[in-house]
Amino acid sequence: MGRLKLQPGIKSIEEEPEEFETTISEKDKAALGCMINTEIGAVLAVMRRNVRWGGRYMSGDDQLEHSLIQSLKSLRRQIFSYQHAWHTVNPTVYLQPFLDVIRSDETGAPITGVALSSLYKILTLDVLDLNTVNVEDAMHLVVDAVTSCRFEVTDPASEEVVLMKILQVLLACMKSKASVMLSNQHVCTIVNTCFRVVHQAGSKGELLQRMARYTMHELVRCIFSHLPDVGNSENVYFNGNNIDKQEVSGIPVDYTFGAKQMENGNSNSNSELDSQSSVPGMDENIVVPGNGKDTVPYDLNLMTEPYGVPCMVEIFHFLCSLLNVVEHMAIGPRANTISFDEDVPLFALSLINSAIELGGTAISRHPRLLSLIQDELFRNLMQFGLSTSPLILSMICSIVLNLYHHLRTELKLQLEAFFSCVILRLAQSKYGASYQQQEVAMEALVDFCRLKSFMVEMYANLDCDITCSNIFEDLASLLSKSAFPVNCPLSAMHILALDGLIAVIQGMAERISNAPVNYEFTPVCLEEYTPFWMVKCENYNDPEHWVPFVRRRKYIKKRLMIGADHFNRDPKKGLEFLQGTHLLPDKLDPQSVACFFRYTAGLDKNLVGDFLGNHDEFCVQVLHEFAGTFDFQDMNLDTALRLFLETFRLPGESQKIQRVLEAFSERYYEQSPLILANKDAALLLSYSLIMLNTDQHNVQVKKKMTEDDFIKNNRHINGGNDLPRDFLCELYDSICKNEIRTIPDQSAAFPEMNPSRWIDLMHKSKKTAPFILSDSRSHLDRDMFAVMSGPTIAAISVVFDHAEVEDVFQTCIDGFLAVAKISACHHLEDVLDDLVVSLCKFTTLLNPSSAEEPVLAFGDDAKARMATITVFTIANRYGDFIRAGWRNILDCILKLHKLGLLPARVASDAADDSELSSEPGHGKPLTNSLSSSHMPSIGTPRRSSGLMGRFSQLLSLDTEEPRLQPTEQQLAAHQRTLQTIQKCHIDSIFTESKFLQSDSLLHLARALIWAAGRPQKGNNSPEDEDTAVFCLELLIAITLNNRDRIVILWQWVYEHIAGIVQTTVMPCALVEKAVFGLLRICQRLLPYKENLADDLLRSLQLVLKLDARVADAYCEQITQEVSRLVKANANHIRSQMGWRTITSLLSITARHPEASEVGFDALLFIMSDGANLIPTNFITCVDAARQFAESRVAHADRSVRALDLMSGSIVCLTQWAHEAQEAMGETDSAKTCQDIGDMWLRLVQSLRKVCLDQREEVRNHALTALEMCLTGVDQVNIQPGVWLQCFDMVIFTVLDDLLEISQGHSQKDFRNMEGTLVLGLKLLSKVFLQMLPELSQVTTFCKLWLGVLSRMEKYLKVKVRGKKNEKLQELVPELLKNTLIVMKNKGVLAQRSALGGDSLWELTWLHVNNIAPLIQSQVFPDENGNGNGTGTEESG
């Protein structure tokens, strides 16, 4: 029934212990008796002082004592005679004598004061509790007696004492354990009495004033602290509505607020609590202003029951009524200078705040209390919010903060109105607020921002609601703008706004830490038309439902605002745009257009008015649908008309006005007929109000309409009858006092709150969507952050720039890191890039260095150091999501590098540490190609770098000047600089790059390439070259660290290195790093990236393109690296192109004095014993070996070894042929053998070239090797056709060339050619005879044989140094004879009697006779014929 539950677990509020207070044990009854006896004695003693009371004792027994003294003495006699426990004694017995003294108007102030003290002592002894007999009556008696206390005033001081003691006793009653037995009426009486003391105290001493206010606070706290324990009051019974105004709250006049009259004679003799004040009592203003209806009063029976909700409602309503001192003033900017005593409203507000603090969420369970807060309280808060008093504004903000915390689910639209009309208006100076108001409003806003859920809930409930304003966006914009110091130094207000902004950002960051969002962000898209004003959520408590719902609503709201912008430029195109985005149907219907006009902010109200007033049938339908969106239920006509005309500008044409007012009147009559007979009456009266409004508020109208004129104009319009005069007078007054604005103000950013808007707000609040409570997860943070990230970064940056205190620096840094965390979590790369760009500016590293010693300047600049650490902290933590920002970060790194502040091997370590330990090597581990540790750098040597190197520079400062010892300040600054760089962990960016996301990694690599600059032909400055070298080192480091993702980087790395190689014409450090870096990449990656092996090896062709001067300078080192590459990765090189590149690099070294030995060593590794020879690399290796054989930069022995490699390779061909025959089918085997034949042919062709070498031993060894290769291929199935090619291209050619050399060159150039010719001729004969069986089967054998004969003939006739050679003269006939014998024995050469003759036979002898005519007879002694083939035969 809405009263306090008497549960055992509920305890009344304990009285704070005082000096004389104690608790009486049940066992010690006598002690309590003694105490009460003491109090009786005290009262009697004071009474005896007074002549009136003292004289009665001396008159003798014949004169009776006064009844007050008799009752006290009677109690004294009984006090020690009680045998039972005290709680069984009726308290009335020992309280009544004291109460009689308090009530008596004969007693003076001292006597009443002592009696009140005695009563207070008894109440605080805890004698009265729920177990005490008749405790309820006793408590009621106490309250009645104290609140009707009367006494004679002797002096002002004693009167104040009595009033203070009354307050003390009333508070003790409420804090007593038995207070739960008090009725609603008694609690109301106590509060009323206390308030009247407060009011009276204004004319008395300061102490009483403070005591009275304190007591009032304590009473309110005590009463409302019980609200959470009170049962639900939904079923409270009420009286009917038609209650006589005389019993306003159903409470008899003997206890309603302000109605208790204390009899007090004249002012100089008697005193009572003054009731004649103008401050309203609780029986006044019960009607809630503004709603046009009386509040339903409580039933009288409820007011006499134990106290609960009814008295709390009455008290709270009374407190609200104290704020109504400016009830009829306008609420808006014009009312900003409210002139009133701030004391009363401030006091009332503090009491209301206490009630809300203690009532808490329990208020929402009691509709009448909640209704008071939603309507009357908030309306007054809105009104007082624009007060010029900072104290009042501060208290209002505290109340709203408490209301938000406890009751925000019930105050959605009220909160929106408060922020729109109070906070956003006052926090900006442009709306006329004073600095104090701005500061209080900003402090309040920051307090709200520190509540982690506040901004999220504002966004979800208001920004994402098409019928509400964008409070979150407005507040975030306000904070960011307010943090900007514009043309002024940084002030406390800027810092305050920054605190609020960072509190919001850190709240988002904390939500990420609490529970990272695991769903992917998907943009909202409307596939088809659905009425946007009817979008609903299935479950407002489940994030799975409400998150997509509010995001969809926000999308709709944004699209509507874009549509509004289009509409304002061209209404037709605006509607078409909305149709295109599925917010309006393809075929427009009146309802959808009406809702677009009704719920979209930012529309041009002139255009809307013209559209609604149009005579077109569709426009008329839209007008009626538009009117149907309004709720005029129980609303006054003028209020309804104001609301209606606020949404558009009333057109100027009379016909349009009529159509608009007809639609309005129809809707109004439909909802609020009240006393109107029909809709025509509503139409006529509306017209009349518009005319009155024009008449009263148009300056051109000189003669104004009077009230009587207005009433006369509206006769007989209500269905032929007159409207009540009071009704018309009320309308007349309303219009006169408050103009209906037919031209709405479209410029006001934050509209003022007027009575009609408040009524509309209360109507809307009944229908608005439920309030969404956010949890600790970051459901909407991405959308919110996208809105505020840019202004936030800008605001923090500006404050950071202007700040001079480290505390502010740290606040800004915390904000930057929170922004970075949120950007990274929600994958907002652009935001993170913007942040990095902003921060890099503060490092001062990107500024042109104006300081003489930039390192010391940096060490002295705390802001720059903090910014630098933050930049690199972000790069290390959130590098995955940095894109374009890498360029700025690299600019900072390069500046540090130029200053010599980076660790010496920051780039090299990045690649070395993770690789060397796990990489197999031959002998010593591979040294770092990027550093110059194992080779001299050709370019300009780099100056001392590294932390210690820079420190040593500092110590010397300037080598040309006499050395100065650095000061302590300089040393400290330098130390700070070094510590800062260490904290940055710059090397981690590159060593940990293998963990970067692919996109970020690619941007980092591209940033390095960009930072290195485009290579240019000619001489770059040493500084530019140093930068390019350093960037290249870093690029190669991240390439090596990301071998598993080399595909992402390779194209960019290759193109950069190619650019360097192709544009460099002189040796320098840059090209050195490029070439050896490339080789190193190949060394490292070939074992792991077989699919990329060709690309890697193809890149080495860049080395072949080096300028001759550059190539010559680095040839030996390049060859060493290639050698290492081959030895470590020979098994991983599979392609012909790869081997061609490798052997090309080795071949080049054949003619280089320093490099040739290393190159030949690598070739030896490949070809020795055929260890690494494969069909793919056979030809290229043979060609390389040929070049080494032909090279004359080393001793001839190496050429001989090269020839041995070539001849030894024939073993591989034999092996491959054998394997092919065993492993493959006939077709595949034939193909392989053909390939092997081609390789063999290339081999002997290469040897042929060496056979022409000037050096005798090389030339002769080449012929020997050639003979070995020609005769050692028995197991290789060389096709006869290939042999024919071999004779033509190799054997015949080499014999011809040797012959030509022997005749055309001097002996000085080619020594001992005779021996070479002999070897060549023997080679011819041997090979011919070995292959005779196969060659004789080919059709062109005759041509081949003639070729052999012709060479023998030439060699026979050759003249070396002018004379024929004896050896050849002997050798040729002998070889010829052997050849003919073999041919004869093989049956190749024989005379045949075939028809047509035997051309082979005849041609043979034709040539043989030219060489040695006698040979025929020696070989064919039995044949007849001559050398000419004529058949003649020599005899004998």
- Would you please indicate which residues are annotated as catalytic (active-site) residues? 653
Q: Residues 1127, 1137, 1272, CA angle at the centre, nearest 5°? A: 75
Q: Which residues contact 562 (CB under 8 A, 6 or more apart)?
A: 577
Helix (H, G, I), strand (E, B) or coil at 891: helix
CA separation for the pair 1069, 1028 (Å, rounded): 9
Report the C-alpha dihedral over residues 452, 455, 460, 466, rounded to 10 degrees.
170
State CA 326 to chain mean position distance: 48
Question: Are the C-beta atoms of residues 633 and 643 closer than 8 Å to each other?
Answer: no
Bridge partners of 271, per DSSP, are 151
CB 119 within 8 A of CB 43: no
User: Distance between CA 1183 and CA 1206 in Å, rounded?
Assistant: 9
Q: Which amino acid belongs to residue 1146?
A: L
Residue 971 CA to residue 973 CA, distance in Å, equals 5
Torsion over CA: 582, 586, 587, 588 (sign): positive
For residue 566, which of 548, 540, 584, 553 has the smallest C-alpha distance?
Answer: 584
Q: State the DSSP code for 1130.
A: G
Q: What is the CA radius of gyration of the chain?
A: 56
Q: Which helix (H) or strand (E) holds 1363?
A: strand 1363-1364
Which of 562, 551, 954 minimizes the C-alpha distance to 783? 551
Encode burial over 247-274: b for 16+ CB neighbours within 10 A, e otherwise: ebbbbeeebbbbbbebebeeeeebbbbe
Is 184 in contact with 302 (CB distance < 8 Å)? yes
| C-alpha distances in Å from residue 166, one per residue of 108, 185, 191, 196 | 14, 18, 12, 12
Angle 949-952-953 from CA coordinates, rounded to 5°: 90
Beta bridge partners of 1359: 1364
| Tally of CA atoms within 13 A in the half-sphere of 373 that contains its CB | 32
Q: Which residue has the tokens 């500016």?
A: 841
Instruction: Provide the CA 107 distance to its chain's centre, in angstroms.
Output: 77
Angle at which helices 755-765 and 637-646 cross, to 10°? 90
The burial class, CB within 10 Å (0-12 / 13-18 / 19+), for 98 is: buried
Structure tokens at 1162: 């690598």
183: helix, strand or coil: strand
What is the DSSP track for 458-483? HIIIIIT-TTS--HHHHHHHHHHHHT
* Structure tokens that stand for 1099 in this block: 């890149």
Instruction: Confirm if 142 and 188 have CB atoms less than 8 A apart.
Output: no
Please say whether the dihedral angle defined by the alpha carbons of residues 394, 400, 401 and 406, taken in this order, is positive or negative.
positive
- Torsions phi, psi for 879 (to 5 deg): -55, -25
3-state helix, strand, coil in the chain (%, to 5): 65, 0, 35
Phi-psi category of 1169—alpha, beta or left, where left has phi over 0 and alpha has psi -120 to 50?
left
Q: Token pair for residue 551?
A: 């995001």
Q: Give the number of residues written for the chain.
A: 1436
> What DSSP designation does 375 have?
I
